[in-house]
Amino acid sequence: MPIVILLDVSLSMTRPVTQDNGRNTTRTSLSINGIITLLDHLAAHSRLEFVALIVFSSLYEVVCSFTREYDAIKQKLRLLEDFDKTCLEGAIKGAYHLVLSEWGHQTHTHIIMVTDGCAGTTTSTSLLPAAFPCTLHTVCIASPNEPSLITSTPIYRKLIERVGGASGAPPGTLYIPEQSLNTSTVNAMFRRLCNEQFAAWRGVIRCGALESRITLAPSPLPHMYVTDFDSVRLTMTNTLEICGFVAMQDIGSPMALSRHLVLPLAPATSPQAPKTPTPNSKSDSSEPPNTPEEDLCDNGKIANFCVLLHGSLKVENMAGLVQLGDDWYGFVHSWADSKKKSNLMLSVLPPGDDAVPWLGPLSQLGLVDPAEIGEAFPVRVTERRSYSIAGGGTGAGVAWVHPAGLQTDLHKLLRHARKLPEKTHHFYKEVNRVRRAALALGWVEALEAAASVLEREATVLPPAASVPLSLAAHHLRNTTDPKIQLPLT
């Protein structure tokens, strides 16, 4: 999930801080060291997360938009300048604008605000809740007993509650150093933030006797399932059991709470090849130990069930039904972000046995005995259904979800009109399609607008084209029976 870092660069961040060794530093330097600690954690544990950096004082500036190049963010952190007073509301609104322009209204986002514990004249009443799922974490570079921090703490808690209050996202957290302000306590505070909010999910995906260690990116969040009289907090289990396989065309596009990339991990008991010492090589004791997330299965020579599953689902165009918990399911399937690269993805369905209504109860899916089907199944319906297009075809219907859809249909109508009389059949077919869709929606204004456009075109086109255009305009305005179509017979 995307992460926005808001860094306070006001003058109050330049106040000196005396270290335990007697050296002086600034709160800005402590903040930069803490953010680098956060970026190092993401690089080792969550390499697929997008991070953006915004600095703020009375105004805000997007220093680095969303990227996975954490080294580029580190370089820009060392080139920051100091500005005037602090304005938290403007910084949070800037984060809103950046997230909405890049990710829209559906992506859960973490906002990490790093400040010095002095809220100034900031209030939480003028700040609107986020229009997307959002969690605000406030990191204060201040000692616990500073008077400015004690005064500003209620404001920070109100901001945390207000930013994520209407989005249904998990609540944010206020982070304060546990002891006096220095480099070690600030870095420990950022490590606590990383362990609590950005810990990688690790588990096992299993199908019969085959299994594979995996991690999900981004890590799944707990889901609040609200019933008529209660609310239940659901957490995904660490063992994803594949119950069966379903064709992708039968699944369609069901509602999904979230989607995650399934990344294989190296087997826990995989043999490690011994390193051959060289004369110039350093001792193994000087090398840092591997972090838990450095065992991503990047070695193509190690057999892995996750790779086999991905290839099988991609070739057969099927998905695996996965049980995520009690009465909670999801689908694992192949997803392609480009023509040359595809990934294994987990789509998390809403809790319940009827998350995909057209499949029926998911717990009752199973193989059908051919003896119970009989010769009369399946039954082919000979008559044309009500949702078929004119002429008995199998094309898709009209869906005007956005204004661009209606504009595209009208432009197509005009292209055929300018090629009359050669395209008379195609012109009448488009007129019937647009008119039938508008009547189904009860959108009389669209018919009037289309008729006006056709009448205006009839005045500039040759006489051979003006007669079909006038007839179509009259038909759009005055005929309300959807069964009457052009050409009139």
The CATH number assigned to the domain with range 3-197 reads 3.40.50.410
- CATH fold for the domain made of 201-225+233-268+294-364: Ku70; Chain: A; Domain 2 (2.40.290)
DSSP calls for 88-128: HHHHHHHHHHHHHHHT-SSS-EEEEEEE-S--TT--STTPP
Measured distance CA(398)–CA(432) in Å, rounded: 12
Q: What is the pLDDT along the chain (489 residues), one digit of tens a residue?
A: 789 999 999 998 998 888 777 788 899 999 999 999 999 999 888 888 899 999 999 899 999 999 999 999 999 998 888 888 888 888 999 999 999 999 888 788 899 999 988 887 666 666 778 888 888 999 999 888 888 889 889 888 888 888 875 555 677 889 999 888 888 999 999 999 998 888 888 889 988 888 888 888 888 877 777 777 777 778 888 899 998 899 988 888 888 888 888 988 876 654 444 444 444 444 343 333 444 444 555 555 677 888 888 889 998 999 999 999 888 899 999 888 766 788 899 999 988 888 888 888 888 887 666 565 555 555 555 555 554 444 444 445 677 878 888 888 888 888 888 888 888 888 888 888 888 888 888 888 888 888 998 888 888 888 888 888 888 888 888 888 878 888 875
User: Between the CA of residue 133 and those of 89, 166, 197, 417, 451, what are the distances in Å?
Assistant: 18, 8, 15, 47, 43
Q: What is the pLDDT of residues 407-453, one digit of tens each?
A: 888 888 888 888 888 888 888 888 888 888 888 888 888 888 889 98
User: Given this model, what pLDDT does residue 386 score?
Assistant: 54
| Residue whose token pair is 């799944």 | 220
Instruction: Locate all alpha helices (DSSP H) within 418-462, ordered by sequence.
Output: 424-441, 444-458
Closest of 155, 147, 135, 176 to residue 87, by C-alpha: 155
Measured distance CA(126)–CA(88) in Å, rounded: 11
> Beta strand 239-247 with 201-207: parallel, antiparallel or unpaired?
parallel
